[in-house]
Amino acid sequence: MADGKTRAEKKQHTRSLIIAAAREKVATTGYHALAVRETARAAGVVPTGFYRHFESIEDLAIVVAEGTAATLARTVAEMIAEDPILETWPDVIVAAGRSDPHEWPALMRGLLDFDHPAYPVVAGAVSDAHRRIAITLSRMPELEGRSADDVDALADIVVYDLIRTALAAARGDSDADMECRHRLSAILW
């Protein structure tokens, strides 16, 4: 090949461009706004080229949702591996928001577009994040004696704050980590 890339590498590159264009669109306007022509144009391919990579716009939406789900799962895995919570979790969340600035708005849009085929993927990821954070919180000595319902409610709030902080960091909010520390401190102590 003239540019040194194999056909498979070119195909993967084009697929990545389509996914990136879709993720950006979802991040700004939601899953329902995805359209083949607009996504293909933003990716620099013709609309018929889109169908070489995806059967439908819904299939692409699910791939975007899986990407946001993976980002959330990685962030939670990194969070729960760190201790102490107040000192490390805000840094992990802010770093995730800054490193993947289109993933977090796309995750939030996925939660709002509840009648879209991508919703179950995003909702499942948030549910898993909640479960993993609840398990971690239940092991904290500071929360000893709290009921399972209390810990469950705290996990809900922490997941909400995780997404809120990552969104703020993705937008470039320089105070996102400090605000997260204050909220976590109020939530957990």
pLDDT in tens, 130-173: 999 999 999 998 888 999 999 999 999 999 999 999 999 999 99
- pLDDT greater than 50 at residue 1: no
pLDDT of residue 8: 87
10-30: pLDDT as tens digits: 899 999 999 999 999 999 999
Give backbone dihedrals phi and psi of 169, rounded to 5 degrees, phi first: -65, -40
Distances (CA, A) of 188 to 22, 42, 150: 37, 44, 11
CATH topology for the 58-188 domain: Tetracycline Repressor; domain 2 (1.10.357)
Contact (Cβ atoms closer than 8 angstroms) between residue 93 and residue 72: no
Residue 163: DSSP 8-state = H
Q: What is the mean pLDDT of the chain?
A: 94
- pTM score: 0.91
Distance CA 142, CA 167 (A): 28
**Per-position b or e across 123-148, b if 16+ CB within 10 A of its CB:** eebbeebbebbbebbbebeeeeeeee
Closest of 154, 189, 185 to residue 86, by C-alpha: 185
